[in-house]
Structure 1
Amino acid sequence: MTANAKTKLRKQEWDTVMGNGTMLPTWAQGLSGRIAVVTGASRGLGSAIALCLAEAGAKVHAVARSGADLQEMADQHTNILPMVGDVTDPRFIEDLGKMEIDILVNNAGMNRPLLIEDVDLETLDRMLGLNVRAAYLVAQAAAKSMLAHRRGGSIINITSQMGHVGSPRRTVYCMTKHALEGLTKAMAVELAPKGIRVNSVAPTFIETAMTKPMLDDPAFMGFVKNMIPMGKIGQPEDVAAAVLFLASPASGMVTGTSLLVDGGWTAQ
C-alpha cells in the first residue's frame, strides 16, 4: 500500500460523510442513531448523563423506579425514553437483555457512610446487592445484547474515586467500587475482540441532592476541598462530559481504563 493510499484510509477511519456533504473528524461526531441505556437516571448524575447523551443525538432509555421523575426528564428532551424498572429485579435484567443496546451507562448505586464497627448486615447486603451484583447483571445483559447484534458498543461503569483509594466511614462503598473497577478491566479484555469497549468514570464528590446534606456540613466541605487540588466541588455536567467522551467515537481506542473526574484527589 502506498503512502497516499494509507493517508486516504486513515482519513476514512477518522472522517464521516454527513448529509450535507461536509466531513467531521471522529472527535466531532455525535451519537446520532445510537441507542443508550442509563440506569439510576431520574436525578443527580444519572439525569445529567441521560440528558447529555440525548443532546448528542442518542435515543436514551432512562431507567429508574420513579415514573414521575422520568417523565419530567422526557419533557425536557424528545430523545429521552422513560423506562421504569428496578435493576435488582430479575425481570428487568431479562427485559434488558432483549433490547438493542449500543451504549450502557451503569450508574445505579448507593452509599451509606458508617464506621466499620457500625456496619450492619442489612446495609452490607443492600450495597453489595446494588453496587456489585446488580451492576454485574446489568453489564452482562448489555454485553449479551451487543454481542447478539454484532454492532460493537460501549459500556461505561460509574464508579468513584473511592474505587482507587480508601476513606474513613466508607469501607463497604470502597469495596464495591473497587470491585466494579476490576469488572471494568476484565470485561474490557474479554470483549475487546468483539468490538465492545468497557471503561469506567470515577468521580469525586459531586454536588447533587444526595451529597448536599454532607456538603452542607462546613467541616466536611472543608475536608473535601482540602483534598481536591482544584479546590472546588464537581458538578454533574463534569461527569456527563466524561461519559459522552467514552460513549462516542472520539474514544475509539480507549478501553479498560478509569477516567477519574476528581480534580486531582487521587493524584496526591
Structure 2
Amino acid sequence: MQGQFTGKSVIITGAGKGIGRACAAELARRGARVIAMARTQSDLDSLSAETGSTSIAVDLLDTSAARSAMQAAGTCDFLVNCAGTNVLERVVDMTDAGYEAVVGINLRAALICAQEFARARIAAGGGGAILNVTSIAGHRGFEEHMCYAASKAGLEGATRVMARELGPHGIRVNAVAPTVTMTELAAAAWSEPAKKDPMMVRHPIGRFAEVDDVARSIIMLLGDDAPMITGAVLPVDGGFLAV
C-alpha cells in the first residue's frame, strides 16, 4: 500500500542484499525513510540510488562499530534486524572463526542493535517495533548448520524476552522464520540437487521463498494491522514446519 509508512523511519541491517534489500525497497515505496546498514559500500550506493535511502557502512561484527552506527542512525520508528551470515561446517569440523562470524553477526549484533534502538525509543517516549529475521533452521536440524541454527534459535528466544521487557514501553518485537529464500547465501547452501530436492518436496506450497515474500511478511508485522502481535515468530515457509 503506497504511503502506508509515510512519515515513519526504519533502520534495516543487512540492507545491501537479499531480504534486507527487498525490505528497504518495499518500505521506501510505501513512504518510509530508510536508514540502510550494510558492510559493502557499493551495495549501499546502488540501494540509495534506487530508493533514496540513507547509508551507513558498518561491519556489525565489530560491537563498538555496531553501537556507533545505531547511534548515528538516530531515533527511528522501526528496526529490522536482517544482517546474517553462515559458514557451512559439520559438527566435528566447527572452527572458532566460523562460530565467531556466525554467532557474532546473527545473534550478538542483532541484540546490540535492538538494545540501542530500544534505548532511543524509550528516551523518546516509547512506541515502535523491532523485527528479527530468524530461520526454520532454528526449528529443524540441517547438516552443516550448527552455529547458524544456534544463532537463529537464540534470536527467537531473545525476541520473546524483548517483547516481555519492552512491551510496557509500547515497543512490539516479533520475528519471521523464513524457509530457504533465494538469496546469495541460500544459493551457496542449497545449490546441490542432493540437498535441494529432498528439501523442496517438504514444502506443501511447492517452492522456496523469494525475498519479496519475506519482505511483505515483515512489513505486515511492522504495520498498523498488527497492533496486538508481539513476541511471535511467524514461519514464512510455505508450510514446511506444519507437516
TM-score (structure 1 length as normaliser): 0.85
Trace 1:1-268 onto structure 2 (pairs within 5 A).
Answer: 30-78=4-52, 80-89=53-62, 90-97=64-71, 99-268=74-243
- List per-residue Cα deviations over 1:15-72 (Å, max 9, x = no partner): xxxxxxxxxxxx9971111110000110111110111111111100010111211111
Moved more, 237-246 or 95-104: 95-104
Deviation at 1:175, TM superposition (A): 0.8
Alpha-carbon RMSD across the aligned residues, in angstroms, is 1.6
Between the aligned partners of 1:94 and 1:213, the Cα distance in structure 2 is: 31
Between the aligned partners of 2:2 and 2:229, the Cα distance in structure 1 is: 16
Match of 1:6 in 2: none
Between the aligned partners of 1:117 and 1:221, the Cα distance in structure 2 is: 23
Deviation at 1:213, TM superposition (A): 3.4
Report if aligned partners of 1:85, 1:92 keep a CA contact under 8 Å in 2: yes
Distance 1:46 1:187, change over 3 A: same
Deviation at 1:201, TM superposition (A): 0.9
- Structure 2 gap ranges (5+): none
Percent of residue pairs identical? 35
Match of 1:16 in 2: none
Moved more, 162-171 or 253-262: 162-171
Deviation at 1:219, TM superposition (A): 1.8
Report if aligned partners of 2:80, 2:131 keep a CA contact under 8 Å in 1: yes
Between the aligned partners of 2:152 and 2:66, the Cα distance in structure 1 is: 23
- Structure 1 gap ranges (5+): 1-26
Between the aligned partners of 2:223 and 2:236, the Cα distance in structure 1 is: 17
Distance 1:94 1:216, change over 3 A: closer
Moved more, 185-194 or 89-98: 89-98
Report if aligned partners of 1:41, 1:62 keep a CA contact under 8 Å in 2: yes
Q: What secondary structure does 1:62 align onto?
A: strand
Between the aligned partners of 2:227 and 2:57, the Cα distance in structure 1 is: 31
Deviation at 1:95, TM superposition (A): 4.1
Deviation at 1:130, TM superposition (A): 1.4
Report if aligned partners of 2:89, 2:144 keep a CA contact under 8 Å in 1: yes
